[in-house]
Amino acid sequence: AFDVLVVGGGPAGAAAAVYAARKGIRTGVAAQRFGGQVLDTMSIENLISVPHTEGPKLAMALEQHVKEYDVDIMNLQTATGLARKGDLVEVTLESGAVLKSKSVILSTGARWRQMNVPGENEYKNKGVAYCPHCDGPLFKGKRTAVIGGGNSGVEAAIDLAGIVAHVTLIEFDTKLRADQVLQDKLRSLPNVTIIMNALTTEVTGDGTKVNGLAYRDRTTGEDHHVALEGIFVQIGLLPNTDFLKGTVDLSPRGEIIIDAHGATSMDGVFAAGDCTTTPYKQIVIAMGLGATAALGAFDHLIRTSVP
């Protein structure tokens, strides 16, 4: 059995594996796709001390750092179940294999909900973005849209309005769902247009980058086109935790509930990164939480298991 088994190989999982392995304990990582969301990212400019890098390069560096240690990396493995059996925690894989460990760190990350309209995938990272903290500055002085009028959409629009030339916020419903204080702030900004009751129908582009957005007015049925350079999709971040239902406690949004040590509701099971209730989902934060969960797991091991 492992001492620490990490499920997920993004920034959180990699940090957890390095921290666990440095304690000289048996560490394994099972990941569907080592590197995680970072693999889908172009430029990264907010990993402190690294002014600029690219996703695939960072993913490679994460893996290389983990490989400096004696860690059993099981890539292309999907966990489908978790259960406590006596002194051990069992993680079932899609292949049918069952991995046993004295402690487990869940770091399965999250994925952005997509609009699923023509052009969205084609122009991802070419004008279609999901993270205003990450990509906002790339659109300095340009025109952008934000899709979604919940808290994250309205926060993104307020944030972007301070950087870009103009923001068009598009909401499907007849009203915004964001907190009133955010709505008031948004409406006070001179360079923001709010369009409600509108269904985004297409991301348009010139073949290399976004040049606009098509939407249908749901009241009149009329189609419109807005010329712009960037589109931030803010219609939800979905944690990869479906396989955990009925095991560890999840928030109403499906995020794994953790305490300050990264501990979950199941004894010996810790969690880190975008799959948890941490309010901000960023690489530097995921790495910090990965380290926290590994130290939390180590504290648990020295208290519970016979050396």
SS3 track for 21-44: HCCCCCEEEEECCCCHHHHHCCEE
> Is there binding between residue 107 and ligand FAD (CB under 6 A)?
yes
- Residue 79: closest CA among 96, 95, 98, 92: 92
The stretch among 35-43, 146-154, 219-227, 258-266 that binds ligand FAD (CB under 6 A) is 35-43
Give every CB contact of residue 269 below 8 A, 6+ residues apart in sequence. 82, 84, 89, 103, 104, 105, 106, 248, 263
Give the residue, chosen from 132, 212, 262, 273, that forms a contact with ligand FAD under the rule CB under 6 A.
273
- Least separation in angstroms between CB 161 and ligand FAD: 20
How far is the C-alpha of 225 from the C-alpha of 201, rounded, in Å?
A: 10
Q: What sections of the chain are H helices per DSSP?
A: 11-21, 55-67, 132-135, 151-161, 180-187, 283-304
For the bound state, the minimum distance from the C-beta of residue 149 to ligand FAD, rounded and expressed in Å, comes to: 21
Task: Count the site residues for ligand FAD by CB under 6 A.
Answer: 38
CB of 81 to ligand FAD, least distance (A): 10
Per CB under 6 A, the list member of 23, 26, 40, 113 interacting with ligand FAD is: 40
Q: If phi over 0 gives left and psi between -120 and 50 gives alpha, with beta otherwise, what is residue 101?
A: beta
**Two tokens at 283?**
């690489």
Token reading at 147: 């899709």
Stretch that binds ligand FAD, among 130-138, 160-168, 200-208, 218-226 (CB under 6 A): 130-138
Of the candidates 108, 183, 204, 234, which one interacts with ligand FAD according to CB under 6 A? 108
Binding mask 140-179 for ligand FAD (x = CB under 6 A): ----------------------------------------
> Interface with ligand FAD includes 103 (CB under 6 A)?
no
Member of 4, 5, 6, 12 binding ligand FAD (CB under 6 A) = 12
Strand, coil or helix: 149: coil
31 binds ligand FAD (CB under 6 A): yes
